[in-house]
Chains A and B, each alone.
Chain A
Amino acid sequence: MVGLSIKDPIREQQMFASRAITLLLIIAVLLALLILRLIQLQVWEYDAYQTRSEQNRIQVQPLAPPRGLIYDRHGELLAENRVSSSVALVTERIENFAGTLERLGRLISVTPADISDFETRLQRKRRPFEPVALRQALTEEEIAILAVNRHLFNGVEVTTELIRYYPYNDLLAHAVGSVRRINEDDLRTLDEVPYSATKYVGKRGIEKFYERSLHGEVGYQQVEIDAHGRIRQVLDIKPPIAGQNISLHLDNRLQIAATAALGDRRGAVVALDPRSGGVLALVSHPGYDPNLFITGMSGEQYAQMSDSIYTPLFNRAVNGQYAPGSTFKPVVALAGLVHGSVTWDETIEDHGFFKLPGGSRIYRDWTWTRNNSGGQGTVDLHRAIYRSSNVFFYDLATRMPVDHLVGFARQFGIGFNVAVDISDASQGLLPDPIWKRGYKGEVWYPGDSVNMGIGQGDLLVTPLQMATLAATLANRGRVVRPRLLLSSDAALPEVDPPPPMPPVQGPSADDWDRMVDAMEAVVHRGNQGFRGNGTAWAYIGRDIAYRMAGKSGTAQVVEIRQGEEYEEEELAEFNRKHAWFIAFAPADDPIIALSVLVENGGGGSSVAGPVAREVLDHYLLPQLAER
């Protein structure tokens, strides 16, 4: 047996070759077996399988859930679902395509634009026998005509689905948001199964934030279907579960009034209930009709919207970021009081301009171009607010460390998005020395503090943040988070509310009350001559039936160079100043706080003030009449 332990290459190779050939034979036999099976299936039993594939089959089809409805605080329907019928063509079943289109065009309206859109859709990937929509939103009459003539149109199908409908068109586009058709990008992020039948998904605002609850749960039906995709019979059904209905804090009548008050000016109005933070109105003008994104619009229409210099698709109320101008002064004043840089009794002499010690740059008061530019005279904090003295605040801002001012302002939610359910709101910008070094590569100059004293410089806020600021002043320091959702049928999974904001630390109760007094004087102090009246009195304070506290602001858009005079009319439309007004009322027990922004509107008191007044009137007068 010794020989066996030695390798014998020749014998080994021969043995391997014989094994290989045996195995190849086995392989050949097995492959022949496969071929035989294929012959059985594809040749002998071909007819049976052919019929089987043609005949009824059972398919499971998903059913889209009806989307939850959205109501305002009074139960008015803001977003609903509508039945929409569309006519679709199954090109595989149509022999004479041009003829069918031509005959169809005689029964219902089919525009050349419909046909070209249809041809675009036809180019997209689809399954064989999948209907391609030709025209949407058929009228009742058209549906009836098509039903009567159905037998003449092989391959023409009328399909019905629920689509989102916003009855107020562009009124609420920015407040409620909107759904859009699910596109290829969405498919990558959405869960496949729950969305298997859904064609639209919340893309903006509330519709996006509460998507999970509004969407509902997909249902299924088991159907007998033939090989052309036609349903023969429904065997089993698990109905979809409708999305949650929700109610918002929004007051639709106030929304209408606020929109009307803005008129055709570009701008935003945000009104809050200072007690709850509930958003009563959220207007961004111009708006757009969200229904266009659902039923479809021409490329031209879309281009017109997206390329417009008036940016109707842009939500100014939550994403527009502007310098707050003088509306920021109450924050600076309270910060100064807390730091001890100023008291209510201290006065300064306002000669109409301010210079940093040793500096040459002149910072002017807003009255520079009027009344011989003599400045506002002797000014204390109270007067500095109702006269909106720039010089007082230039000076005050340099008397406290910038970090103190910034830290204090942060408590009001400036530089943050503190809203509960407005997740796409912008944060604005609360600059500080660290930010400036990082983004601009420069140190913080005393001039930066001077600018911040009157809400200019790099400081940026949104109308939503200014409304929050107004509510905080109304609440004497209690900060509320803005929220849109008022109630829902059941608890919503999205609502994992952030912790309440801590109240503003520092100012005494007396400081808050005196600040409110000063802001009331802005509106109500009148008949005292130009230097004695509140800045807004002449425009809104003469015949007012309730106590309103307010603060105007006029935010510079372009820098006016040193020593240069300018005429407002000469500035191009988009270079004019933004007009701001923040207000709340009734001053002693506020139930509404708001901010108004008019883009390139000019003076805060003269332009934004009346808008604020109109909105407050609309909200308060009926309530006061009831009492």
Chain B
Amino acid sequence: MARDFIRSLPEHERDAGASWLRSIHIDPLLMLLLVLVIGYGLVVLYSAVDQSQTLFQAQLVRISLAVVALVIAAQLPPQIYVRWAPFIYVFGIALLVLVLTVGVKVKGSQRWLDIPGIVRFQPSELMKIAVPMAVAWYFHDRPLPPSFKDVCVALAIVAIPAGCIIAQPDLGTGILVAVAGFAVVVLAGLPWRWMLYAGLALATAAPGLWFTLQDYQRQRIVTLFDPESDPLGAGWNIIQSTTAIGSGGLLGKGLFAGTQSHLDFLPEARTDFIIAVVGEELGFVGVTVLLGLYLLVIMRGMFIAVSAESTFGRLLSGALILTFFVYVFVNIAMVAGLLPVVGVPLPLVSYGGTSAITLMASFGILMAIRTHKAW
């Protein structure tokens, strides 16, 4: 089925109406799918913010910025990305070190870099793109599948920034950055066997890792298996979010009518837990439609990766789309009580700007890889 879908795409692209989009390096089909996800997300968000015009408009502004980021990222030919990948990476590492030394502490974590009067941002956000880009750059000129040595170098490229981010401490983002980098290694042809061995080794080491976790992180894992153990503390989120989703049933309680979402039972309803609002108000059908849209985005992204003409383009676009999937999966699995609570927003739907801008920029890179044919 996936193959049929992919095969049918080039014909769709011959539509004359969409050619002007291609002339500005926008992939029409991917853009259409993104617009659908964003539009769907805004409807849900409008409910999640209790129909507050102020918050809703703030999100509209952020989404517009994110679209601008996409368009800009799409204009740059992939050659530029290859050339700049190592520099962006080194620059990012420098920022991370800076964060650890002079960063701003918010709620116990040192994640922000503050340039007074100009901006305040999380360099770890930049690394979500810079790390896979650097790994793709490393493999670009090397024979694939990679040698053991190349795999080790690539893993080091991933581990350094991921380690810095985990040290902030921001375990969630650190893992996501690591996943993005590791995806490149997998796509480059890391033998499945090795992954199996590594997985076994990790499982053996798991009891040891347990002791390296912070107390609150351990609590989150315990809670996952037994939410009732702490119904007012860490288990609260899971109980409320599963109740919200479950009580939505097949068709949901109706937009704006979710009691869990609007009576303050559901925490973080507009940010990380927004899928519970979808589940409660639009039901199983509503969540499935959203999942379907995400799947189409991922399939289109994979198609772009497979048909890319350079190693760098293939690896980078494949890794970015895999990362996108990981966000979707981790977020929904967490809200549905399948994974411990980590701070991952639902891509393109949750309230907030940083993640939307990073994601749309990475889709811009995908489009650049798709539309700049000269390479």
Enumerate chain A interface residues (CB-CB to B < 8 A). 4-9, 12-13, 15-17, 19-21, 23-24, 27-28, 30-31, 33-35, 37-39, 41-43, 45-46, 48-50, 52-54, 57-59, 125, 127-129, 225, 227-229
Contact = CB atoms under 8 A, between A and B. Distances in A.
Interface stretch (B14-22, B158-166, B169-177, B332-340): B332-340
Q: What 5 pairs between A and B have smallest CB-CB spacing?
A: A49-B246, A53-B247, A41-B246, A42-B284, A49-B247
A127 B145 contact: no
B250 interface: yes
Contacts of A42: 245-246, 248-250, 279, 283-284, 287
A128 B288 contact: no
Nearest to B239: A52
B243 interface: yes
B329 A30 contact: yes
A13 B299 CA distance: 17
Contacts of B338: 33-34, 37
16 contacts: A7-B141, A7-B143, A12-B189, A12-B311, A15-B144, A31-B329, A34-B336, A35-B291, A41-B336, A42-B249, A43-B249, A50-B247, A53-B246, A53-B260, A58-B231, A129-B259
B143 A4 contact: yes
B22 to A, nearest CB: 23
Nearest to A22: B192
Interface string B218-256: 000000000000011000000000111111111000001
B189 A45 contact: no
A33 B32 CA distance: 27
A8 B311 CA distance: 11
B270 interface: no
B289 to A, nearest CB: 12
A23 B144 CA distance: 18
Contact of A43 (B147, B247, B256, B284): B284
A16 B259 CA distance: 47
B243 A20 contact: no
A69 B7 CA distance: 78
Contacts of B3: 21
B325 interface: yes
Nearest to B329: A30
Contacts of A13: 314
B302 interface: yes
A517 to B, nearest CB: 60
A139 to B, nearest CB: 32
Contact of B263 (A24, A35, A45, A129): A129
Contact of A34 (B299, B311, B333): B333
B329 A24 contact: no
A12 B313 CA distance: 13
Nearest to A188: B54
Nearest to A5: B143
Nearest to B253: A53
A8 B143 contact: yes
A52 B266 CA distance: 13
A58 B233 CA distance: 12
Main secondary structure of the interface of A (DSSP, over half): helix
A19 B192 CA distance: 10
A45 to B, nearest CB: 6
Contacts of B144: 7, 12, 15
Given A31-B295, A53-B244, A125-B50, A16 B314 contact: yes
Nearest to B299: A24
B298 interface: yes
A41 B242 contact: yes
A6 B336 CA distance: 47
Given A28-B295, A53-B259, A228-B259, 15 more contacts: A4-B147, A7-B141, A9-B311, A15-B144, A21-B2, A39-B284, A41-B242, A41-B245, A42-B279, A46-B249, A53-B244, A59-B265, A127-B262, A128-B259, A227-B259
A49 B243 contact: yes
A271 B83 CA distance: 79
Given A19-B186, A39-B284, A128-B262, A24 B2 contact: yes
Contact of A27 (B249, B260, B265, B325): B325
A29 B117 CA distance: 47
B248 to A, nearest CB: 6
B306 interface: yes
Contact of A125 (B51, B243, B325): B51
A474 B145 CA distance: 97
Contacts of A45: 246
Nearest to B294: A31
Contacts of A52: 243, 246-247
A37 B279 CA distance: 12
Most buried by B among A24, A39, A48: A24
B134 to A, nearest CB: 19
Most buried by B among A45, A57, A58, A229: A57
